[in-house]
Amino acid sequence: MNVAVIGAGAAGLATAHELLAAGHRVAVFEQSRQVGGLWAYTDATEDDPLGLRPSRRIHSSLYASMHTNLPRDLMAFDGCPFGDADGAPPTSCRPARMRYPHHARVFDYLQRFAVDAGVARHVRFGHRVKRVDLRRRWRVDGESFDAVAVCNGHFSEPRVPALPGLEQFPGMVLHSHNYRRPDSFAGLRVVVLGSSVSGGDLSREIAEVAAEVHFSGRLFRDAPLPACQTGLLKRCPPVAGFEAASVVLENGERIEAVDAFLFCTGYRYRFPFLDASLIGVGDNWVRGLYRQLVAVDQPTLAFVGLPFRIVPFPLFQRQARWFARLLNRDFPLPSHAERRRAHRREIERLRGKGVAERHYHFLGDGQIDYLNDLARQCGDAPVPDWFIQLWREHNANARLHPTDHRERPLRNRTPLAAAESAVAD
Ligand code: FAD
C-alpha cells in the first residue's frame, strides 16, 4: 500500500521503518528541516509565554539541561541499541547518569536510526500537512494514499488550567513548553504547578537561583524535598487561583508577593489538519479509536503514540508494526460493529473504575499487556522480563528518590549493560 506518515519524530520514524519492512511504500511529511521531532532542541520560544495562540511556531518543549527520564536501555528501538556512544556523558557526570543521557544524545540516536533504518530518504522536509481528507482514497494536501499514520506528537500544545484571577496576576507567567533555562527566575519568589517529571525537575533547577520556590504537585510525595544550594524549595497544597500578586491555595492559605508562576501542566492532543468528522478530541482523549490506535470507522487511519506514562519508543514500534501488518491483512480485523462494541466496552470499563476522561490514554503498567496483545497478533515475542523488571525498578527509584534517581545505579541487568560491561572488561 501507499502510506502517508505525518511527522518524522520518533513515532514517525518507527512507523515508516515498520511500513517499509512490511513492504509498503511510504512518504513521510515533516514540517521542519530535520528528523527527531521533540528531541530537536531549540533555544527559541513562542512569543506568548503560555503558548496558547493557535499558530504554533516552536515544536520542541525540551529545556537545556534535560536528561532523559527513562534509562536508555528501555528507550531503544528493537534492533537498534542506544549504545554508549549515544549516551556518553560529559566527564564530570557519574557513571550511573549515562543510563539517563542528555537530550542531545537522544537526538543523535534518532538521526542515526533514520539513516540506518533507511527511513531518511523517504522524508519530505519542510512540508507542513494542512489537510487530510477521505474521498475514495485518503488525500494528504491533495495527494492520494491508501492509508495515513498520524505521528504529529502531543507535547507542543500547552494545557493551562483556567485558574481564577490568572489574567490579573501581575507577575511573570510561563508554561514549561517555553522554559529553557532558570536565569530569568534569579532572586524571585516562584510557584511551580505540575505533577509530572518536568514539574519536579524544573522546581529543583529554579530553586538553585530563585529566592524561593513553592512546588504544588504530587512528586516528592513519598520522599523528602531536596536540599537546594541557594534558594529554598517548599511543597505547597493545590493551587485554587490568584488574587492580585498572591497565589491562593485550596486549603485557604496564600503565598503572598509571588513574582513568577510556572505551569508544568502538560499538553493537549491536536490535529489541525483533520476534519472533526474524522476524529474528535475530548478532554485530552482522542475519541473513537480501536486499541488506542486506528479509527474505529476508518481503520486505515492510525494515530501512533497517543498513550502516556509508557516507554514511548518501543510502544511506537509495536503499534507501527501492528498497523503495517494490518494493512497487509496478516490477521483479520474485527467487523465494524465489533470494533464499535470493543470501544464502547473499554469506555464503560474506564468509567466504571472512575477514571477521568483526560486519563483514558494513560497506560502505566497496563502497557505490558497492551504491547503483548499487539505482539501476539503480529507473531512477535512478548515483552522480555528484563524490560519489565527495569521499568519497575526505574519507577520505584523515581518515586522514592525524585531528586537523584538518575544518579543511582540500576540493579537489574539488561542485555545492553551486559554487553557494555563485557566490552569494558
Ligand atoms: P514528536 O517528537 O513531537 O514528533 C512529531 C513530529 O511531527 C515533529 O517532527 C513535528 O515537526 C512533526 N509535525 C507536527 N505537525 C506536523 C504537520 N502538520 N505536518 C508535518 N509535520 C508535522 N520520552 C522518552 O522515551 N524518554 C524521555 O526521557 C522523555 N522525556 C521527555 C521530556 C519532555 C519534557 C517531554 C515533553 C517528553 C518526553 N518524552 C520522553 C516523550 C517524547 O515525547 C517521546 O519520547 C517522543 O519523542 C514523541 O515522539 P513523536 O514522534 O510522537 O512526537
Q: What pLDDT is stored for residue 196 in this prediction?
A: 79
Give the number of other CB atoms < 10 A from CB of residue 149: 32
Q: In testing the pocket of ligand 1, which one of 122, 141, 143, 152 has its CB within 8 Å of the most ligand atoms?
A: 152
Mean pLDDT, residues 49-78 taken together:
92
Confirm or reject: Cβ of 6 under 6 Å from ligand 1.
Answer: yes
pLDDT band per the 50, 70, 90 thresholds, residue 416: confident
Q: Which residues contact 372 (CB under 8 A, 6 or more apart)?
A: 382, 383
Contacts 24+ apart (CB under 8 A), 133-137: 133/275, 133/278, 134/278, 134/298, 134/301
**pLDDT at residue 91, rounded to an integer:** 41
Cα 9 to middle of ligand 1, angstroms: 6
- CA of residue 148 to ligand 1 center, whole Å: 18
CA atoms within 13 A on the CB side of 303: 26
* Confidence band of 425 (pLDDT split at 50, 70, 90): low
More confident: 206 or 84: 206
Determine the distance from the C-alpha atom of residue 195 to the mean position of all C-alpha atoms in its chain, rounded to a whole number. 15
Report CA(10)–ligand 1 centroid distance (Å). 7
Arithmetic mean of pLDDT over the chain: 91
* Average pLDDT, integer, range 172-191: 97
Across 8-17, 141-150, 272-281, least confident range: 272-281
Q: Answer yes or no: is pLDDT of 94 > 60.
A: no
Q: Is the pLDDT of residue 410 over 90?
A: no
Per-residue pLDDT, 93? 39
> What is the pLDDT, as a whole number, of residue 408?
86
pLDDT of residue 306: 98
CB 410, CB 393: distance < 8 Å? yes
The four Cα atoms 208, 212, 217, 221 give a dihedral, to 10 degrees, of 80
Is the CB of residue 10 below 6 angstroms from any atom belonging to ligand 1? yes
Per-residue pLDDT at 403? 76
User: What is the pTM for the complete model shown?
Assistant: 0.94
The pLDDT > 70 percentage for the chain reads 92
Instruction: Examine the pLDDT at 376 and tell me if it is beyond 70.
Output: yes
51 Cβ inside 6 Å of ligand 1: no
Q: Which residue has the higher pLDDT, 19 or 53?
A: 19
